[in-house]
Amino acid sequence: MEFSAKQIAGVLNGRVEGDAEAKVSDFSKIEEGKPGTLTFLANLKYTHFIYDTQATIALVNEDFVPEKSLPETLTLVRVANAYTALAQLMTMVDRSQAKKPGIHSMAFISSTANVPADSCYIGAFAFIGENVKLGNNVKIYPHAYVGDNASVGDDTILYAGVKIYDNSIIGKRCILHAGAVIGSDGFGFAPEGDKYKKIPQLGNVIVEDDVEIGANTTIDRAVIDSTIIRSGVKLDNLIQIAHNVEVGENTGMAAQVGISGSTKIGRNCMIGGQVGLGGHIKIGDRVNIGAQSGVLSSIEDGESVIGSPPVGVREFFRSSLIFRKLPEMYRTINQLQKEIEELKKIKK
């Protein structure tokens, strides 16, 4: 598809500087700009690339002031926020390229399932179980599985190999990437002598609206009641969420986060990669947890922590300066101890 600078500015409520009829048909990074592409400048450390870019159109913030001449072939579209404007454009293009509705002849759909055939896409070898309810414009890619009594809301996408266990509830406008597993058994075992007895997991998983779940992320169903992922949550690839966890609205997690059972996480939190959260604790609203932190106790609203056990970010980085000096400090202490011993001998 091809768009002019004038059309792009119209969509983004932006302002054109240069050739309003300049046309682009693809995107490019500003350091690798090519003719016929649209690029963007949001991070100031990349500013020097804009003076040599070969891209045809660049999205820039409204307050961007060039320090020298820009390429004659470059047209600017000024917007309030170049990064969010780019996301808006890419979303529009992505939707225009979405797969057309249709149900593949090799998909299996139970006779008791409620599937709006006129708007849904269901790929080859997908499985739709008994009493499943699909909303309008749902897209289910090949080899996905939707178990009995599950429901999937309007405009949700299940990519190839997604597994939705029985009784799970998926909201509207969600995106589940390849290999995500929703509703698998929680890790529940009771010691019985030298062995473990499995505790049945009788609950389900509820994923509310506008949630994105990364590839190979797993969310366990509750022992009783529900594991709940609230609206707007964004989960990266390779995340493990245990039974009876609740994740608050608009919280984001990076890859390899692990959350133990019955932990409650508040709204608008940011959790870095490889963070581990212990069980039965509460993380407040607007909490930031740095990468590789190990959290074993509750955290109050608004705190920013890092480390294992976690401490305040400023305290952690002050401590990190000391960590590097520990070998030298150890040698100094040993030398002082020897000198003290020598002094004691002299006094005797």
Known catalytic residues?
243
Cα 333–chain centre separation: 47
Taking a C-beta distance cutoff of 8 angstroms, is the pair 298, 263 a contact? no
Taking a C-beta distance cutoff of 8 angstroms, is the pair 279, 263 a contact? yes
Q: Write the DSSP string, 220-256.
A: EPPSSSEEEE-TT-EE-SS-EE-TT-EE-TT-EE-TT
Reduced to 3 states (helix: H, G, I; strand: E, B; else coil), residue 137 is coil
How is residue 81 written in tokens? Answer: 């926020």
Burial zone of 143 (CB within 10 Å; 0-12 exposed, 13-18 middle, 19+ buried): middle
Dihedrals phi, psi of 311, to nearest 5 degrees: -135, 175
User: What order of strands is seen across the sheet that includes strand 204-207?
Assistant: 133-134, 151-152, 169-170, 204-207, 226-229, 246-247, 264-265, 282-283
How is residue 14 written in tokens? Answer: 């932006």
